[in-house]
């Protein structure tokens, strides 16, 4: 690297976000960038470690370790240190079609496996990545790049989330004519309606990339639910190949007493309706204004529900998590380069703490009953604390702690407990083979399904996962689809 002693000379520094009590008043992105001089110093902290783990994309203990799209991280860190921003952007785009997405919403497993992180805070990889693509867009370096020739082959991509967009981008670059089918009114899938605008701007970031893909020749058909508005059998006849990238959107329910009460919603119902009203500048949505909100479930989706409720002007917000509170530092059974299972305070919790004086999360707690009023509206959530014990099979299960019952007032309850797999109607209409978890059965690396010329990528194949894994799979499925169509492939 250009600065062998950079990791000794410079401390980790990330830009300050907009103040919590200021940003909850709008839906604008809250992350800021460091100036170029400070970013140069952060790039210099990349320590020429010899065997970098940051770009490996390994699965260790079931978690990502390093970048799943194998970003050339040490290379563009060095280029930023040298002030070669355009060259850094070129290196970034070699492995990642959408660094503006991952630079904003990826949990950064690259930083969890950074070698410097063994002894010091890791390199600010995610912030540098986002800064590179944002500068490239601002400078006009990111422009449409349509393929010079067309192969005459046609591909339908079903789903326009990160996996579908990555597959479409790669297949289009290979010269195939690509049509993306999206059941929502706008392209983007999870990126459009699963992540709030303040974390990932729809007009300035998501639709900007969609428009570039359109300029490169990709066609988007919205309000098109394959299997309903567009028969799957017809697509099989019309296209030379199909890539299924429908995501894993079947939410996990909580069938406890009182579940039928009004005012209980799945998190994605809440988040989707809210983003639509933000983009449409009006319309119906599920409002948290003036309400006591209880969010059941942690993770990114739970955090997004917290941040959205605060922007509505909720009266209070509580987030129930059944798992124990993570430690502040790595536990002995969670060594580097595994993903660090440590306590993280995300933007929603930071905002709630600023407004109400405390982190909204309550750990080792589960809901036991929803209580409703005479009109059938939810008015309270009954909870109990749990302890995790092993059953006869050696599996950890939650056990209620007697005497720990508590009742939380709630006029709005949001279920953010993850997803059980892809929705089944389309898969049933295709009669595609599925695995025991109801995901599409297709081997990673090959992405071929039980139906000839049909490929699968992303969460519908692997189950609920990260945006960066979806991009990895979309690229991989495109490569194998291209090989199927042409007999060989030059796609990475």
Q: What length is written for the chain?
A: 492
CATH number at residue 16: 1.10.1060.10
Q: Please tell me the total count of domains within the chain.
A: 3
DSSP 356-403: HSS--EE-SEEEEEEEE-TTSBEEEEEEEEEEEEE-TTS-EEEEE-TT
Helix intervals (H) in 66-220 = 73-81, 85-95, 99-105, 109-112, 125-138, 162-173, 207-215
Helix axes 85-95, 73-81, angle to 10 degrees: 170
Q: What is the pLDDT along the chain (492 residues), one digit of tens a residue?
A: 678 999 999 999 999 999 999 999 999 999 999 999 999 999 999 988 988 999 999 999 988 999 999 999 999 999 999 999 999 999 999 999 999 999 999 999 999 999 999 999 999 999 999 999 999 999 999 999 999 999 999 999 999 999 999 999 999 999 999 999 999 999 999 999 999 999 999 999 999 999 999 999 999 999 999 999 999 999 999 999 999 999 999 999 999 999 999 999 999 999 999 999 999 999 999 999 999 999 999 899 999 999 999 999 999 999 999 999 999 999 999 999 999 999 999 999 999 999 999 999 999 999 999 999 999 999 999 999 999 999 998 899 999 999 999 999 999 999 999 999 999 999 999 999 999 999 999 999 999 999 999 999 999 999 999 999 999 999 999 999 999 999 999 999
Looking at the structure, tell me whether residues 194 and 342 fall in a common domain: no
> Is there a contact between 77 and 46 (Cβ–Cβ < 8 Å)?
yes
Q: In angstroms, rounded to a whole number, what is the distance separating the alpha carbons of residues 150 and 152?
A: 6
Q: What is the pLDDT of residue 12?
A: 97
Burial status of residue 168 (CB atoms within 10 A of its CB: 0-12, 13-18, 19 or more): buried
Task: Give the residues across from 158 on adjacent strands.
Answer: 181, 244
Residue corresponding to tokens 């930083």: 111
CATH number at residue 349: 3.50.50.60
Q: Examine the fold and report which residue of 107, 138, 169 is the final residue of a domain before the chain moves on.
A: 138
Six-digit token string for 222: 């919205």
Q: In angstroms, rounded to a whole number, what is the distance separating the alpha carbons of residues 451 and 433?
A: 8
Q: What is the largest CA-CA distance in the chain?
A: 71
**452 is in which domain, residue-wise?**
154-249+420-486
Residue 468 belongs to some domain of the structure: yes
Task: Count CA atoms within 13 Å of residue 412 on its CB side.
Answer: 28
pTM of the model: 0.96
Residue 318 belongs to some domain of the structure: yes
Helix axes 125-138, 85-95, angle to 10 degrees: 110
Cis peptide upstream of residue 337 (ω within 30 degrees of 0): yes
Neighbours of 277 (CB within 10 A): 16
Q: How far is CA 112 from CA 34, 66, 160, 467, in A?
A: 21, 7, 29, 17
Q: Examine the fold and report which residue of 80, 110, 138 is the final residue of a domain before the chain moves on.
A: 138
Q: What is the pLDDT of residue 208?
A: 97
- In the DSSP assignment, the letter for residue 95 is H
Six-digit token string for 370: 């929803």
Residue 112 belongs to some domain of the structure: yes
Looking at the structure, tell me whether residues 70 and 109 fall in a common domain: yes
Q: What is the pLDDT of residue 48?
A: 83
Q: 3-state class of 443 per DSSP? A: coil
């Amino acid at each position: 690297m250009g600065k062998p002693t950079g990791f000794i000379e410079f401390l980790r520094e990330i830009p300050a976000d907009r103040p919590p009590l200021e940003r909850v008043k709008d839906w604008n992105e809250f992350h800021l960038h460091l100036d170029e001089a400070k970013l140069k110093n952060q790039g210099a902290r990349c320590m020429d470690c010899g065997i970098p783990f940051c770009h490996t994309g390994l699965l260790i203990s079931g978690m990502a370790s390093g970048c799943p799209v194998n970003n050339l991280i040490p290379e563009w860190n060095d280029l930023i240190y040298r002030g070669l921003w355009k060259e850094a952007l070129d290196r970034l785009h070699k492995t990642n079609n959408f660094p503006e997405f991952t630079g904003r919403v990826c949990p950064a497993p690259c930083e969890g496996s950074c070698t410097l992180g063994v002894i010091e805070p890791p390199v600010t990889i995610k912030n540098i990545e986002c800064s590179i693509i944002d500068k490239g867009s601002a400078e006009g370096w990111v422009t449409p790049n349509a393929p010079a020739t067309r192969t005459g082959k046609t591909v339908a991509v079903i789903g326009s989330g990160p996996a579908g967009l990555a597959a479409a981008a790669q297949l289009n670059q290979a010269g195939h004519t690509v049509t993306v089918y999206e059941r929502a009114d706008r392209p983007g899938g999870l990126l459009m309606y699963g992540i709030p605008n303040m974390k990932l701007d729809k007009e300035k970031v998501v639709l900007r990339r969609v428009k570039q893909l359109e300029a490169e020749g990709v066609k988007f058909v919205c309000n098109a639910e394959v299997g309903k508005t567009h028969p799957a059998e017809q697509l099989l006849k019309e296209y030379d190949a199909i890539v299924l990238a429908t995501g894993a959107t079947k939410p996990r329910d909580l069938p406890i007493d009182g579940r039928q009460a009004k005012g209980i919603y799945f998190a994605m119902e809440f988040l989707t309706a809210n983003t639509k009203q933000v983009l449409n500048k009006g319309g119906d949505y599920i409002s948290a204004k003036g309400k006591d909100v209880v969010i059941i479930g942690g993770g990114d989706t739970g955090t997004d529900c917290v941040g959205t409720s605060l922007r509505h002007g909720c009266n209070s917000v509580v987030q129930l998590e059944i798992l124990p509170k993570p430690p502040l530092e790595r536990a002995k059974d969670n060594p580097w380069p595994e993903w660090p299972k440590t306590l993280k305070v995300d933007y929603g919790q930071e905002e709630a703490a600023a407004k109400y004086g405390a982190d909204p999360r309550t750990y080792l707690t589960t809901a036991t009953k929803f209580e409703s009023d005479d009109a059938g509206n939810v008015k309270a959530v009954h909870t109990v604390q749990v302890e995790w014990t092993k059953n006869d099979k050696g599996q950890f299960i939650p056990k209620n702690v007697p005497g720990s019952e508590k009742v939380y007032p709630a006029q709005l309850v949001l279920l953010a407990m993850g997803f059980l797999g892809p929705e089944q109607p389309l898969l049933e209409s295709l009669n595609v083979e599925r695995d025991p978890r109801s995901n599409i059965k297709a081997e990673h690396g090959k992405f071929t399904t039980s139906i000839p010329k049909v490929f699968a990528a992303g969460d519908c194949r692997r189950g609920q996962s990260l945006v960066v894994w979806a991009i990895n799979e979309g690229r991989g499925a495109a490569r194998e689809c291209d090989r199927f169509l042409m007999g060989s492939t030059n796609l990475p």
